[in-house]
């Protein structure tokens, strides 16, 4: 027995007190003495240590893609062997599945239903370490191919600390027909124009020769061949990139036959860094904004094809300018990434005016809308022309598919149409058709007036029926209604599944008739431009002089309807010269005064938001903001509502202050340089991202103590933004790790006060699960040895109990004994019953002395005989008799 609590030091003084207070506490009673002794012993929390004769065996089953169906094939045999050789009923057996996630095997032995894209062995081991019973010995048996997609060091440390051995059994079937790209290597980042080496490692069991392709951002760089010698080959290339940003490299092999084609392609990103850089997206071939900024020593990357705007371009950029580029030409992932770029990474954003910008360009309710310092929705009282809008909704069978939250695709299409009705004015007209193999007139051409609620309710009742959508039938029905309208703007919105748009008919002739009469057509395609019927939808939008939207995210559909409705009904570009009026608030951007021009040739009508600072307004009836700016998170946003290039920009371009204006705006957007004494380092190991924040304690310790740094991470694929916690490693060093999903592209920023240290994009390759790097298998063996585990070939030996000393606390039995004895002592005291006393030895009383008077001498010469005492108590006389005899003698003497 051992004492686990420091209270055992009280034992000696407590026993000493027994002697001091023996009489006061009446501890001469044995029961009370025992009670005190038990109480003192209980305070020491004693335990009994003994060898635990049981085992909890956790069997981990690798269910990732790379193990294929090997687990299902072997599981029945493994289960029978483990059950057969289980030593006793006290031993327990647990089966746990894992891949990208961890799930306990169902009671019915059902197969794994989670994501199989990754092998998160570390996550599975940490899960077991957290759920094992510390009072029982445990052991882990891992069935796997040995290739984890994440490091195992942290999990190994936890297993070792808990005394849990890791045994493993390799189950991968070796095949000679599996060539694969093991890795693609190059630096994480290089300077603009700096050459760097690209190394591609290819592995396989058999020697062979096959094609090797290398692409950069989807463009082919080189196509060569690679030859495996002794199962391995390394091919090297050099590249040099003249501009900054993030660039994705993809390596691919094309063997004639392959057992696992999933590991034939690997992708990775590189960051090209340089000086402060502005990304300018423009449709102008000779953009005057680019010329002016370049002349002022700004590094400007001009993108003339908006479809090439990728989130990777934001790497190393300090600001983005959209110069009269419509929303439907900008990829959705780039628009969504701008919000994080500005608010979290501290970037700048500027939208310049034009006929395809702001509301006229379809940016209302787009991801860019909240960034702008102006509101683009035209107020009803400012509208001067009526619009006739016809909406054609696909209600084919594919529209009944659920999209989460109890909603279906048709529900979201209905919501989008209802939003469009809400954005129309009382003088506008609406017609709605639900189309499958024929067009059903849900709402005939109707003037809105005050009937928005009624019309929206009718649209929300459209339901999916079946079959596909007959595009021609829908367009013809819409045009037949729009013909009846005298409105100056007649427009059709066609919503259709890009994978299920049938029976086009003679749509080209129909669309020509529509456009000849001033009608336009825009198309919202549910899916991507790679889908089967995407080309048809693109052609309809192009021939109809409208816009084409693709979205594979059904939740975006209502917003796209709203964007398109605002573009044709609630936006305005004023095409007449308008005077301007400075507000005097330009000084908040620059202390240098600016001599403004007298008028603008045209501008986009908008309204300043509450938090915007307006420097220049129009002098017409609208008093509209022409130059406005605002802070957005750590970044900055600006809106210049008049054109800076192209049509309606002559006055602005000839303005003497044009260069100074752009220079000041550019510096405002780019913000401050990174503060000194602090730096960020990142690396990607498999799927695990590690960030290290290094700083000078003398400069930053006090600042970071008052306001700790924050890490914001965004997954471009999932669209989620996360806050990550730091770990303080040492003075001047914070660190964190995060496991990423396969194929994800992430960007992030470390926020330090009002500054941001951006990083990314970082890409987790799409073939991590199939890399089969030998280093991962070596790591598994090392972790098994570290935890005193084994590579188990004989499953019957899985029940080996590790050394484990269990401890059983005596607090409970001692507590019970104390309660029982306390009750017993109270009972004895209350009833007055005493413990029987032992018999004491009897004392024999002494015989009483009898004084015999001496007789007087007689004259007779005869001898006098001795007088005999009348009381002669014998030793055997009882005490009572002796007492009575003594009393009798005393009474006789008195007489």
Q: For the segment 666-725, what is each residue's pLDDT rounded down to a tens digit?
A: 999 988 877 888 888 888 776 778 899 998 988 888 888 888 888 998 887 666 788 888
Is there a contact between 226 and 181 (Cβ–Cβ < 8 Å)?
no
Tokens representing 649 are 């920009």
Return the higher-pLDDT residue of 772 and 238.
Answer: 238
Question: Cα–Cα–Cα angle for 812, 816, 820, nearest 5°?
Answer: 170
SS3 261: helix
The pLDDT tens digits for 520-570 are: 999 999 888 888 888 999 999 999 999 899 888 888 888 888 888 888 887
Element containing residue 617 per DSSP (H, E): strand 613-618
Please name which of 133, 78, 74, 129 lies closest in space to residue 102, comparing C-alpha atoms.
Answer: 129
Element containing residue 755 per DSSP (H, E): strand 755-763
Environment class of 109 (CB within 10 Å of its CB; exposed 0-12, middle 13-18, buried 19+) = exposed
- Helix (DSSP H) and strand (DSSP E) numbers for the chain: 19, 47
Residue with the two structure tokens 């989620």: 720
Is there a contact between 235 and 211 (Cβ–Cβ < 8 Å)?
no
Distance, in Å, from the CA atom of 258 to the CA atom of 280, rounded to the nearest integer, reads: 44
Residue 242 has pLDDT above 80, yes or no: yes
Distance, in Å, from the CA atom of 566 to the CA atom of 424, rounded to the nearest integer, reads: 8
Residue with the two structure tokens 């994978």: 499
Cβ count near 115 (within 10 Å): 15
Distance, in Å, from the CA atom of 756 to the CA atom of 733, rounded to the nearest integer, reads: 17
Q: Please tell me which of 43-52, 331-340, 683-692, 862-871 the model is most confident about, judged by mean pLDDT.
A: 331-340
Tokens representing 481 are 């209604």
Overall average pLDDT of the 858-865 stretch = 51
Please name which of 357, 358, 350 lies closest in space to residue 375, comparing C-alpha atoms.
Answer: 358
Model confidence pTM above 0.85: no
Is there a contact between 376 and 370 (Cβ–Cβ < 8 Å)?
no
Distance, in Å, from the CA atom of 124 to the CA atom of 581, rounded to the nearest integer, reads: 66
Cβ count near 290 (within 10 Å): 21
Return the higher-pLDDT residue of 448 and 871.
Answer: 448
Please name which of 755, 760, 724 lies closest in space to residue 633, comparing C-alpha atoms.
Answer: 755
Q: Which residues pair with 95 in a beta bridge?
A: 59
Tokens representing 451 are 């009937």
**Residue 447 has what pLDDT?**
92
Pair type for strands 613-618 and 578-582: antiparallel
**Residue 578 has what pLDDT?**
94
Q: Which residues pair with 9 in a beta bridge?
A: none
**Residue 885 has what pLDDT?**
58
Cβ count near 24 (within 10 Å): 7
Please name which of 750, 760, 670, 759 lies closest in space to residue 707, comparing C-alpha atoms.
Answer: 750
Cβ count near 635 (within 10 Å): 24
- pLDDT bucket at 519, cuts 50 / 70 / 90: very high
Residue with the two structure tokens 């502005």: 278
**Residue 842 has what pLDDT?**
58
Residue with the two structure tokens 């010698």: 229
Angle at which helix 507-516 crosses helix 471-482, to 10 degrees, equals: 20
Distance, in Å, from the CA atom of 179 to the CA atom of 584, rounded to the nearest integer, reads: 69
Q: How many CA atoms lie within 13 A of 83 on its CB side?
A: 7
Distance, in Å, from the CA atom of 495 to the CA atom of 111, rounded to the nearest integer, reads: 40
> Could you tell me where the DSSP H helices lie in 379-444?
409-423
Is there a contact between 864 and 853 (Cβ–Cβ < 8 Å)?
no
Cβ count near 593 (within 10 Å): 10
Environment class of 298 (CB within 10 Å of its CB; exposed 0-12, middle 13-18, buried 19+) = buried
- pLDDT bucket at 768, cuts 50 / 70 / 90: low
Question: Cα–Cα–Cα angle for 314, 315, 319, nearest 5°?
Answer: 45
Distance, in Å, from the CA atom of 784 to the CA atom of 177, rounded to the nearest integer, reads: 30
Distances (CA, A) of 677 to 346, 410, 674, 705, 752: 19, 55, 9, 16, 12
The pLDDT tens digits for 346-366 are: 999 999 999 999 988 888 888
SS3 6: helix
Distance, in Å, from the CA atom of 423 to the CA atom of 312, rounded to the nearest integer, reads: 35
Distance, in Å, from the CA atom of 371 to the CA atom of 358, rounded to the nearest integer, reads: 12
Q: What is the percent of the chain where pLDDT is above 90?
A: 30
Is there a contact between 359 and 615 (Cβ–Cβ < 8 Å)?
no
**Residue 872 has what pLDDT?**
46
Mean of the per-residue pLDDT values of the chain:
82
SS3 427: coil
Torsion angle (degrees, nearest 10) of CA 35, 36, 40, 42:
10
Is there a contact between 537 and 498 (Cβ–Cβ < 8 Å)?
yes
- pLDDT bucket at 500, cuts 50 / 70 / 90: confident
Peptide bond into 761 cis (omega under 30): yes
Backbone phi, psi, residue 187, to 5°: -65, 155
Range with the lowest mean pLDDT among 129-133, 263-267, 852-856?
A: 852-856
**Residue 44 has what pLDDT?**
73
Q: Which residues of 377-410 are buried (b: 16+ CB within 10 A; e: fewer)?
A: bbeeeebeebbbbbbbbbbbebbeeeeeeeebbb
Distance, in Å, from the CA atom of 883 to the CA atom of 136, rounded to the nearest integer, reads: 77
Residue 586 has pLDDT above 50, yes or no: yes
Question: Cα–Cα–Cα angle for 546, 304, 566, nearest 5°?
Answer: 30
Backbone phi, psi, residue 111, to 5°: -75, 170
Q: Which residues of 707-741 are buried (b: 16+ CB within 10 A; e: fewer)?
A: eebebbbbbbeeeeeeeeebeeeeebebebebbbb
Residue 370 has pLDDT above 90, yes or no: yes
Distance, in Å, from the CA atom of 342 to the CA atom of 638, rounded to the nearest integer, reads: 11
Tokens representing 287 are 């953009």
Residue 16 has pLDDT above 60, yes or no: no
The pLDDT tens digits for 386-401 are: 889 999 998 888 888 8
Name the DSSP letter for residue 380.
G
Distance, in Å, from the CA atom of 418 to the CA atom of 410, rounded to the nearest integer, reads: 12
**Residue 10 has what pLDDT?**
45
């Amino acid at each position: 027995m051992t004492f686990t609590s420091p209270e055992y030091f009280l034992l000696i003084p407590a026993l000493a007190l027994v002697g001091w207070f023996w009489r006061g506490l009446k501890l001469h009673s044995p029961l009370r003495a025992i009670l005190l002794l038990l109480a003192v012993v209980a305070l020491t929390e004693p335990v009994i240590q003994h060898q635990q004769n049981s085992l909890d065996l956790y069997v981990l089953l690798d269910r990732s893609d790379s193990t294929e169906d090997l687990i299902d094939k072997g599981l029945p045999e493994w289960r029978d062997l483990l059950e057969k050789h289980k030593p006793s009923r006290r031993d327990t057996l647990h089966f746990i599945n894992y891949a990208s996630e961890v799930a306990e095997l169902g009671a019915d032995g059902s197969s794994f239903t989670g994501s199989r894209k990754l092998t998160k062995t570390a996550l599975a081991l940490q899960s077991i370490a957290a759920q094992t019973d510390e009072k029982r010995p445990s052991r882990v048996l891992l069935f796997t191919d040995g290739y984890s997609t994440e490091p195992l060091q942290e999990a190994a440390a936890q297993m070792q600390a808990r005394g849990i051995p890791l045994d493993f059994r390799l189950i991968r079937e070796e095949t000679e027909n599996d060539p694969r790209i093991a890795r693609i290597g190059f630096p994480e980042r290089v300077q603009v124009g700096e050459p760097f080496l690209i190394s591609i490692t290819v592995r396989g069991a058999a020697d062979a020769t096959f094609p090797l392709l290398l692409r950069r951002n989807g463009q082919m760089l080189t196509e060569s061949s690679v030859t495996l010698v002794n199962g391995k080959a390394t091919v090297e290339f050099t590249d040099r990139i003249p501009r900054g940003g993030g660039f994705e490299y993809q390596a691919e092999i094309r063997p004639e036959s392959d057992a696992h084609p999933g590991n034939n392609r690997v992708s990775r990103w590189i960051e090209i860094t340089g000086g402060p850089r502005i990304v300018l997206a423009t449709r102008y071939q000779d953009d005057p904004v680019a010329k002016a900024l370049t002349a002022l020593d700004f590094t400007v990357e001009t993108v003339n094809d908006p479809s090439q705007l990728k989130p990777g371009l934001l790497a190393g950029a300090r600001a983005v300018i959209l110069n009269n580029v419509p929303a439907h030409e900008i990829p959705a992932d780039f628009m969504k990434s701008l919000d994080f770029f500005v608010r979290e990474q501290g970037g700048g954003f500027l939208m310049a005016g034009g006929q395809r910008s702001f509301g006229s360009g379809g940016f209302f309710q787009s991801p860019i809308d909240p960034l702008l310092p102006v509101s683009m929705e035209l107020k009803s009282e400012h509208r001067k022309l009526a619009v006739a809008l016809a909406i054609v909704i696909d209600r084919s069978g594919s529209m009944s598919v659920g999209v989460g939250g109890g909603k279906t695709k048709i529900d979201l299409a209905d919501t989008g149409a209802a939003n469009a009705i809400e954005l129309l004015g009382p003088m506008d007209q609406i017609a709605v058709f639900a189309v499958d193999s024929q067009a059903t007139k849900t709402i005939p051409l109707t003037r809105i007036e005050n009937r928005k609620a009624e019309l929206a309710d009718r649209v929300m009742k459209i339901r999916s029926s079946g079959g596909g959508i007959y595009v021609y039938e829908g367009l013809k029905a819409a045009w037949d209604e729009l013909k009846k309208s005298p409105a100056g703007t007649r427009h059709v919105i066609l919503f259709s599944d890009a994978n299920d748009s049938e029976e086009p008919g003679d749509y080209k002739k129909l669309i020509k008739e529509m456009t000849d009469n001033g009608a336009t057509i825009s198309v919202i395609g549910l899916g991507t431009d790679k889908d089967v019927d995407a080309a048809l939808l693109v052609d309809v939008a192009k021939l109809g002089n409208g816009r084409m939207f693709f979205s594979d995210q059904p939740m975006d559909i209502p917003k796209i309807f709203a964007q398109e409705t605002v573009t044709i009904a609630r936006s305005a570009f004023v095409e007449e010269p308008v005077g301007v009026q400075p507000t005097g608030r330009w000084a908040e951007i620059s202390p240098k005064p600016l001599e403004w021009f007298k008028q603008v040739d045209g501008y986009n009508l908008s309204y300043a938001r509450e938090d915007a600072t307006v420097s220049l307004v129009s002098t017409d009836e609208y008093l509209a903001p022409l130059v406005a700016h605002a802070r957005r998170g750590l970044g900055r946003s600006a809106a210049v509502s008049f054109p800076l290039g192209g049509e309606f920009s002559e006055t602005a371009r000839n303005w003497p202050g044009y260069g100074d204006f752009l220079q000041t705006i550019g510096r405002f957007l780019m913000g401050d340089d990174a503060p000194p004494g602090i730096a960020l380092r990142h690396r990607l190991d498999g799927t695990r991202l590690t960030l290290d924040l290094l700083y000078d304690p003398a400069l930053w310790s006090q600042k970071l103590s008052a306001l700790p740094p924050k890490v914001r991470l965004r997954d471009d694929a999932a669209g989620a933004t996360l806050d990550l916690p730091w770990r303080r490693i040492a003075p001047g060093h914070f660190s964190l790790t995060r496991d990423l999903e396969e194929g994800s592209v992430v960007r992030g920023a470390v926020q330090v006060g009002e500054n941001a240290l951006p990083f990314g994009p970082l890409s987790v390759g799409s073939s991590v699960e199939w890399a089969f790097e030998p280093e991962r298998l070596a790591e598994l063996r090392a972790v098994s040895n570290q935890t005193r585990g084994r590579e188990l070939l004989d499953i019957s030996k899985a029940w080996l109990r590790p050394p484990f000393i269990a401890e059983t606390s005596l607090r409970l039995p001692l507590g019970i004994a104390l309660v029982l004895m306390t009750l017993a002592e109270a009972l004895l005291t209350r009833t007055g019953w005493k413990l029987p006393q032992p018999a004491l030895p009897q004392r024999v009383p002494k015989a009483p002395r009898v004084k015999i008077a001496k007789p007087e001498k007689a004259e007779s010469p005869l001898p006098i005989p001795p007088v005999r005492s009348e009381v002669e108590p014998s030793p055997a006389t009882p005490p009572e008799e002796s007492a009575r005899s003594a009393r009798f003698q005393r009474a006789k003497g008195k007489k």
